[in-house]
Structure 1
Amino acid sequence: MEPGICYIKPEYLLAEANSGPNSEVNVSVDGASNKRKHAEDAGSPNESGNKRGNKKERKRGQNKNRPVFKDERYSHLCHSLIDGAGGPPCTVPNCRYVHDLEAFVAAKGVDLGDVCYVYATKGYCGRGVTCRFAKAHTDAQGRNMKAEPYDEQAAQTTCNGISSELQVRLRKHDYDFSRTKELIKQAEKLRDVRKQQEQQKKEEIPDDKLAVTTAERTPIGSAIDDNPNGRDAQRKPVIDFREKLVLSPLTTVGNLPFRRICKEFGADITCGEMACAVPLLKGLGQEWALTKRHESEDIFGVQVCGNNPNVITQAAEVLHETARVDYIDLNIGCPIDLIYQQGGGSALMRRTNILELTVRSCAALSDRLPFTVKMRTGIYADKSVAHELLPLVEQWGAAAVTLHGRSREQRYTRQANWAYIEQCAAQARHMPVIGNGDIISYEDYVERRALAPHVSSVMIGRGALIKPWIFQEIKQQKAWAPTSTQRFELLRRYCNYGLEHWGSDTKGVENTRRFLLEWQSFLYRYIPEELQLSPPQKINERPQKYRGRDEMETLMSSGNSADWVKLSEMLLGPVPEGFSFVPKHKANAF
Structure 2
Amino acid sequence: MSTQQPGTAPIKPEYLLHRPAQPAPDDDAAEGSGNIRRHARDSRDARDEPRKSKAERKAEKKARSGMNTGRRFGKVRDAGVQLCYAIAGGGGCEYGEKCRNNHDVSLYLASQPPELRLPTAEDVKRMSVPLPLESQDESPMEGEGKTERDGGATATEGEAAVKSETRCPLFDELGVCQFGFRCRYLSAHSKLNESGVLTLVTDEDKRARMAVAGAEMNRLNAEAQKALRSKKYALPIMSAYHKEDTKDLAKRATKAPVRVTEGGAVIFGEAEQEGPMEVDDDVVEKRTGDAAPLEAAEDTPDVPMRWTEKKRLQWEGKTYLAPLTTVGNLPFRRLCVSYGADITCGEMGLATSFLSGGKEEWSLVRRHPSERMFGIQIAGSKVPAVVGAAEVIGRELVDKGGGVDFVDLNCGCPIDLVFKSGSGSALLDTPARLARLVAGMSRALGEVPVTIKMRTGVKEGRNTVHKLMPRMLGEGTKGSAGTEGEKGWMGVGAMTLHGRTRQQRYTKLADWEYIKTCVDAVRAREADEDLPRIPIFGNGDCYSGTAYWDTVAASGVDGVMVARGALIKPWIFTEINEHREWDISSRERLEGIRKYAEFGLTHFGTDTAGVNTTRRYLCEALSFQYRYVPLGILEVLPAKMNERPGAFRGRDDLETLLASGDSRDWVRISEMFLGPAPEEWSFVPKHRSNAYESQG
Q: Shorter-chain TM-score: which interval?
A: 0.7 to 0.9
Correspondence 1:142 to 2:190? no
How far off its partner does 1:198 sit? Answer: 11
Equivalent position of 2:431 in the other structure: 352
**Does 2:88 align with 1:82?**
yes
- The range that moved more, 350-359 or 146-155, is 146-155
Q: Which residue of 1 is the match for residue 22 of structure 2?
A: 23
Q: Is 2:458 the partner of 1:379?
A: yes
What amino acid does structure 1 have at the position aligned with 2:22? S
**How does the TM-score come out when normalised to structure 1?**
0.85
Deviations 1:54-93 (A, max 9, x none): 4768779x93223424323359521231145xx4344367
SS for the counterpart of 1:301 is: strand
1:254 matched residue in structure 2: 328
Q: Distance in 2 between matches of 1:191 and 1:122?
A: 52
Change (3 A) 1:300 1:89: closer
**Partners in 1 of 2:250 and 2:508 — Cα distance?**
39
Equivalent in the alignment of 1:215? none
Relative to structure 1, the CA distance from residue 378 to residue 264 in structure 2 (aligned partners, 3 Å threshold; closer, same or farther) is: same
**Paired amino acid for 2:106:** E
Contact 2:304 / 2:443 at 8 angstroms: preserved in 1? Answer: no
1:571 maps to 2:570: no
Which segments of 5 or more consecutive residues in structure 2 lack a partner in the other structure? 30-42, 118-165, 263-267, 272-300, 398-402, 474-487, 527-533, 691-696
Distance 1:198 1:304, change over 3 A: farther
Determine which structure has more spread, i.e. the larger CA radius of gyration: 2
State the secondary structure of the residue aligned to 2:48.
coil
Give the secondary structure class of the aligned counterpart of 1:463. helix
In 2 relative to 1, CA 52–95 (structure 1 residues): closer, same or farther, beyond 3 Å?
A: same
Deviation at 1:345, TM superposition (A): 1.4
Q: Aligned partners of 2:613 and 2:580: how far apart in 1?
A: 35
Which AA in structure 2 matches 1:96? R
Of 236-245 and 306-315, the range deviating more from structure 2 = 236-245
Question: In the TM superposition, what is the alpha-carbon distance from 1:40 to its structure 2 partner?
Answer: 6.7
Contact conserved, 2:498 with 2:538, CA < 8 A, in 1? Answer: yes
User: Match for 1:131 among 142, 165, 183?
Assistant: 183
Aligned equivalents of 2:512 and 2:302: distance in 1? 38
**Corresponding residue to 1:478 among 565, 574, 580:** 580
Matched, 1:176 2:234: yes
The answer on 1:227 being equivalent to 2:303 is: yes
The code of the aligned residue for 1:116 comes to C
Matched, 1:442 2:429: no
Task: Provide the C-alpha distance between the structure 1 equivalents of 2:68 and 2:256, rounded to a whole number of angstroms.
Answer: 47
Distance in 2 of aligned mates of 1:279 and 1:366? 18
Q: Which amino acid aligns with 1:238?
A: R
SS across alignment from 1:491: helix
Encode CA deviations 1:10-31: one digit per residue, 9 max, x unaligned: 12111336xxxx234xxxxxxx
2:462 counterpart of 1:456: no
What's the offset of the Cα at 1:292?
Answer: 0.4
Q: For residue 260 of structure 1, what is the amino acid of its counterpart?
A: R
CA distance in 1, matches of 2:492, 2:311: 16
1: CA distance, partners of 2:405 / 2:215: 17
Pick which of 366-375 and 301-310 moved more. 366-375
**Separation of aligned partners in 2, 1:94 and 1:198:** 72
Equivalence for 1:220: none
**Native 8 Å contact 1:521 1:587 kept in 2:** no
Aligned residues of 2:552 and 2:558 also touching (Cα < 8 A)? no
- Residue range with higher mean Cα deviation, 442-451 or 276-285: 442-451
Task: String of CA shifts for 1:138-191, please: whole Å, max 9, x gaps.
Answer: 112221111243315047321113211111121222222121122234456677
1:537 aligns with 2:639: yes
Alpha-carbon offset, residue 367 of structure 1: 4.9
Q: Does 1:405 align with 2:499?
A: yes
Are residues 1:63 and 2:68 paired?
yes
**1:130-209 map, 5 Å:** 130-140=182-192, 141-149=197-205, 150-151=207-208, 153-154=211-212, 156-187=214-245
Task: Return the offset for 1:194.
Answer: 8.8
Correspondent of 1:101 among 94, 101, 105: 105
Instruction: From the superposition, tell whether residues 78 and 457 of structure 1 become closer, same or farther in structure 2 (CA, over 3 Å).
Output: same
Name 2:655's counterpart in structure 1. Answer: 553
Q: Aligned AA for 1:78?
A: C
Say if 2:568 and 2:628, in contact at 8 Å, map to a contact too: yes
Alignment of 1:513-532 (within 5 A): 513-532=615-634
Question: SS of the counterpart of 2:71?
Answer: coil
1:72 to 73, 77, 84: 77
Q: Shift of the alpha carbon at 1:474?
A: 1.2
Cα distance between partner residues in 2 of 1:76 and 1:23: 43
Distance 1:243 1:198 in 2: 49
1:415 aligns with 2:509: yes
Letter aligned with residue 291 of structure 1: V
Q: Which amino acid aligns with 2:13?
A: P
Partner of 1:388: 467
- 1:64–1:584: 8 Å Cα contact kept in structure 2? no
Give the whole-Å Cα distance in 1 for the aligned partners of 2:312 and 2:257: 33
User: Partners in 1 of 2:242 and 2:320 — Cα distance?
Assistant: 30
- Alpha-carbon distance change, 256 to 386 in structure 1, aligned in 2, over 3 angstroms: same
Distance 1:320 1:10, change over 3 A: same
* CA 265–39 in structure 1, closer or farther in 2 if over 3 Å, else same: closer
- Taking only the aligned residue pairs, the percentage that are identical comes to 40
Q: Structure 1 185/390 Cα, relative in aligned 2: closer, same or farther at 3 Å?
A: farther
Deviation of residue 587 (structure 1)?
9.2
Q: Is the 8 A contact 1:158 1:292 kept in 2?
A: yes
Instruction: Quote the offset at 1:531 in angstroms.
Output: 0.7
Cα displacement (A) at 1:466: 1.0
Distance 1:534 1:458 in 2: 23
1:2 to 1, 5, 21: 5
Give yes or no for contact 1:301–1:326 (8 Å, CA) kept in 2: yes
Mapped contact 1:309–1:355 kept (Cα < 8 A)? no
Q: CA deviation at 1:560?
A: 0.8
Contact 1:83 1:129 in 2 (8 A): yes
Give the alignment of 1:111-122 within 5 angstroms.
111-113=115-117, 114-122=166-174
Deviation at 1:289, TM superposition (A): 0.4
Q: Does 1:245 align with 2:283?
A: no
Q: 2:352 aligns with which of 278, 289, 295?
A: 278
Partner of 2:417: 338
The separation in 1 between residues aligned to 2:472 and 2:246, in whole angstroms, is: 15
Partner-residue secondary structure (3-state), 1:294? coil
What letter corresponds to residue 327 of structure 2 in structure 1?
V
Deviation of residue 322 (structure 1)? 0.8
Q: Give me the whole-angstrom Cα distance separating, in 2, the residues matched to 1:40 and 1:88.
A: 49
Q: Which residue number corresponds to residue 370 of structure 2?
A: 296
Label 1:269 to 1:586 Cα distance change in 2 as closer, same or farther (>3 A): farther
What is the CA–CA distance in structure 1 between the aligned matches of 2:365 and 2:86, rounded to whole Å?
A: 29
Deviates more, 1:158-167 or 1:394-403: 394-403
Q: SS at 1:158's partner residue?
A: coil
Deviation, structure 1 residue 327: 0.7
Contact 2:22 2:647 in 1 (8 A): no
Bigger mean CA deviation after superposition, 473-482 or 50-59? 50-59
Distance 1:586 1:448 in 2: 33
Change (3 A) 1:259 1:159: same
Letter in 1 for 2:45: G
Greater alpha carbon shift after TM alignment, 484-493 vs 344-353? 344-353
Aligned residue-pair number:
544
Higher relative contact order (CA 8 A, sep 6+): 1
CA gap 1:399/1:478 in 2 versus in 1, 3 angstroms: same
Task: Specify the code of the residue in structure 1 equivalent to 2:28.
Answer: D
Give 1:120's aligned amino acid: D
